[in-house]
Amino acid sequence: MPIREKIRPAVREIVGHLVANGFETYIVGGAVRDLLMDLTPKDYDIATAATPEDVRRVFGRRRSRIIGRRFRLVHVYAGSEIYEVSTFRRAPSEDERREHHDDDGVMIWRDNEYGTLEQDAERRDLTVNALYYDPVGGRGIIDMVGGVRDLEERRARAIGVAATRLEEDPVRMLRALKLVGQFDFHLDEDLEAALRARVDRIGLASQNRLFEELLKILATSRSLAVLEAFEAYGLLPHYWPKLASIWSTPVGERTRRLLAERDRCVATGGYSTSKALALATACLPYVISRLGGPSADDLWEHDPARDSGCRQVIQDFFHPFPVSRFFQARVRDMILLLPRLSQRLRLTRLARHPEYKYGRELYTLLGRVCDWPEERLEGCPQPDAAESAPTGPRPRRRGRRAPRKAGREVA
């Protein structure tokens, strides 16, 4: 099937509308890379010569919204989906990069200097992420940095000087190693040397951005492979200290087994892609080791006094990621369902719990990893039955639900 036919109609419509209004516009980045690898993109990023204000005028207030300070772009709404439209950028000067008086002028704190298509390609991180595609005209794939060849050879190569690229934005280290874990890429020699020498700089990036990257990693069916790449290249202790500290312990081994089984289930469509459930899966063996017995089989007895410490254990595991109280509460509730499911405590009532569906999935996944007998997994009501159970009057909805990012599941 030609690439053009694989692209969502809404994306072609947005690009076409901007082009019709006189603005050069293309699909860019990971979506183009995935299309060339015959994968279905989860997100589509659109790059254009139009400024954010131009994009807003083209689509109007009802269909678009300008967001961001560090990197201003526009969210364009298409039904229930959101697509990001960014203006072509050029590499900022040292003075333009500088955010604080003691900055070295290398790390990019703001990136809002607009430029041409060629300048936009030159300022991107990796060659395979600097590919453009014209879905409405006749230019097809636009490759100004050798990204197509690197893609064919499964090589992650920085554009320009690798060390400078990583110092400009340490998050680029994560993106390079995600290619290693997700798609079996290898790092170019210059990029590998620069990365190994700068792994400790990952802490300079915003913790919010690092947590967003963690959620993206856990949303894939290759989360364990990505984390293994982080560990192999020395990045894990600086990115996720607690996981690195237990990596070679029995608790770490159980964590890897649980993530491997989850990845397998996600790949076959047999496991939810809920962000909160992914976080619960990652921290479950650590929580059991702190609240239960010495092995993953030793779920603790349901005890409100012991359960009260669960949230703090979760915080410890994910430190320094800024996990919101919302996510912490959901992860805690899913995990605290497990001993009650194991002991068959008031299952009919338990089935009405708002996190029952995910708690049951987590319990089943743990049982597979621990080789529990089938009878231990039987007897829990099916999630469909739980969802249909009476839960009392629903609260009135106020206002309109915000659309979600294309290809992303809300938490």
Instruction: Kindly indicate the confidence band of residue 116, based on its pLDDT and cuts at 50, 70 and 90.
Output: very high
* Arithmetic mean of pLDDT over the chain: 87
- Highest mean pLDDT among 79-93, 238-252, 326-340, 358-372 belongs to 238-252
pLDDT of residue 187: 98
Report the pLDDT averaged over residues 342-353: 82
CB 155 within 8 A of CB 125: no
34: left (phi over 0), alpha (psi -120 to 50) or beta: alpha
How much is the pLDDT for 370?
A: 87
High-pLDDT (> 70) share of the chain, %: 84
Highest CATH level, class, for 1-153:
alpha beta
Residue 400, pLDDT > 70, answer no
Q: What residue ranges in 154-280 does DSSP mark as E strands?
A: 155-156, 186-187
3-class SS string, 261-321: HHHHHHHCCCCCCCHHHHHHHHHHHHHHHHHCCCCCCCCCCCCHHHHCCHHHHHHHHHCCC
Nearest one of 54, 120, 73 to 92, comparing CA atoms:
120
What per-residue confidence (pLDDT) applies to 407? Answer: 44
CATH topology of domain 154-239: Hydrophobic Seed Protein (1.10.110)
| 207-221 pLDDT tens trace | 999 999 999 999 999
Lowest mean pLDDT among 247-251, 341-345, 396-400: 396-400
pTM of the model: 0.85
Q: How many CB atoms lie within 10 A of CB 53?
A: 12
**154-239 shares the fold of 1-153:** no
The answer to whether residue 105 scores a pLDDT higher than 70 is: no
* pLDDT reported for residue 393: 42
Give residue limits of the domains in the chain: 1-153, 154-239, 247-388
pLDDT value at 195 more than 70:
yes
